[in-house]
């Protein structure tokens, strides 16, 4: 089975946008705007989940015994998805640190 280019581009687009939202959330946390930060994380999570669902369908397809053709574009999509996942983890850690710094500076 060769995945459709539209599915692959959806992964790239959604995961890329999710990564950008996570980066923006870190910047908002740096400015102590946690309300804006939370909204950006929510948006990022929605897009990441959407991209992950498309990717998971491809993984399930292959796990069912149907060969999935790996193209350079699909490899790129997987890379972007993994990058978004890493940024999500880093985003959570940075925001936690900024909250702690803000709490300590208020003492």
pLDDT tens-digit map of 16-65: 999 999 999 999 999 999 999 999 999 999 999 999 999 999 999 899 99
In this prediction, residue 91 carries a pLDDT of: 96
76 is catalytic: yes
For the chain, the structural domain boundaries read: 5-105
Position 106 confidence tier, pLDDT thresholds 50, 70, 90: confident
53, 57, 63, 65: CA torsion to nearest 10: 180
Checking if the pLDDT of 12 tops 90, the result is yes
- Tell which CATH classification among 3.30.70.20, 3.40.50.720, 3.30.360.10, 1.20.58.80 matches the domain 5-105: 1.20.58.80
**Catalytic member of 56, 76, 93, 101:** 76
pTM of the model: 0.91
């Amino acid at each position: 089975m060769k995945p459709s280019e539209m599915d692959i581009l959806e992964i790239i687009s959604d995961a890329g946008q999710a990564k950008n939202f996570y980066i923006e959330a870190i910047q908002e946390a740096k400015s102590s705007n946690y309300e804006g930060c939370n909204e950006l994380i929510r948006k990022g999570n929605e897009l990441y989940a959407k991209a992950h669902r498309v990717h998971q369908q491809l993984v399930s397809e292959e796990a069912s015994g149907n060969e999935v053709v790996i193209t350079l574009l699909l490899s790129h999509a997987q890379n972007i998805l993994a990058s978004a996942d890493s940024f999500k983890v880093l985003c959570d850690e940075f925001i936690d640190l900024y909250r702690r710094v803000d709490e300590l500076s208020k003492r």
